[in-house]
Amino acid sequence: MRVGVLTGGGDCPGLNAVIRGVVRKGIEVHGWDFVGFRNGWNGPLTGDSRPLGLNDVEDILTRGGTILRSSRTNPYKVEGGVDKIKKVLADQGVDALIAIGGEDTLGVAKRLTDDGVGVVGVPKTIDNDLGATDYTFGFDTAVSIATEAIDRLHTTAESHHRALVVEVMGRHAGWIALHSGLAGGASVILVPEKHFNVDQVVSYVESRFEKEYAPIIVVAEGALPEGGEEKLLTGEKDAFGHVRLGGIGTWLADEIAHRTGKESRAVVLGHVQRGGTPTAYDRVLATRFGLHAVDAVADGDFGVMVALKGTDIVRVKLSEATAELKTVPAERYQEAEVFFG
């Protein structure tokens, strides 16, 4: 059997660990051949591929990013895209695909399965917003990076007695903001799931200043003030219809400074959350996902995604995994509110 592997969407710590787990088990246990498709779904669209052997994955466990590179290509936005993929797979003798990605990449995987292509999905997103799995790899690393940044910002905020607004990733789900904000001792945490009242945020900030502390506000990029609109870096949309968000942190810092008369600065962590070496937790989870993805291919169980349930790796339908995003429930956010101000 010959199996194709691809990584789509945003890069993420742990992608290489999945690739390594897939290739090692596939070769050493089943004797399969592997081909890596470059640049997400653009690879099987254009035939851009490379062989994947044991030597190719020997030293990639600790590397961030993906040796296969990535893109936000949507083959269903390309004329004749599905037929092109089927032809490339046939020409290269590929019997099955393992697609590693988030909602968009796995949404394509689900549609391709319906169109007769054998695909197994592996969940990847630092946002932890993919349905049907308790956690995705990359999330723990992103939270660790954001938490370390918040820890460092506490000292400079206290030294200058200023408010600091830390903008983290999270388009529709505030998991990174919630976890890093709690772990880093933030004064306020703002998530996309609950529109925030600027007056209330200012009240929390003033309360911290009155106690001789410098406030840290953690805000997800998709968080919205009541009656406000998303802050966009550009109005352009990618192949999946997403706009680039950004700017809520700067906007909020300006509002705080204007309303309190206190100096306020914004720090946008951006893509630093995606980069670098994955944590031990993410390496283990990613490796386990890779091993179980190989089992699904061996069983001919296509149209599924491997998922974490408790401490077990299980299989769920791709349709279930991509049905809706996993957002922060109200009760989880309410738990954190006791620490605000």
Which residue numbers belong to the known binding site for Mg(2+)? 103
Distance of CA 143 to the CA centre of its chain: 11
Residues 6 or more apart whose CB falls under 8 angstroms from that of 312 comprise: none
CB 214 within 8 A of CB 208: yes
CB 122 within 8 A of CB 305: yes
Helix ranges (H only) for the chain are 15-30, 42-46, 54-57, 81-91, 103-114, 139-160, 175-183, 198-210, 248-260, 280-298, 318-321, 330-337
Angle between helix axes 15-30 and 280-298 (nearest 10 degrees) is 40
Pair type for strands 304-309 and 119-123? parallel
Catalytic residue among 95, 104, 115, 127: 127
Annotation: binding site for diphosphate: 10
What is the C-alpha to C-alpha distance for residues 319 and 301, in angstroms, rounded to an integer? 14
| Residues making up the binding site | 10, 103, 125-127, 162, 169-171, 221, 265, 271-274
Closest C-alpha to 304, from 113, 94, 40, 129: 113
Whether 83 contacts 75, CB under 8 Å? no
Is 127 among the residues known to form the active site?
A: yes
Instruction: Write the CA distances from 332 to 27, 32, 182, 315, integer angstroms.
Output: 43, 44, 11, 26
Q: Which residues are catalytic?
A: 127
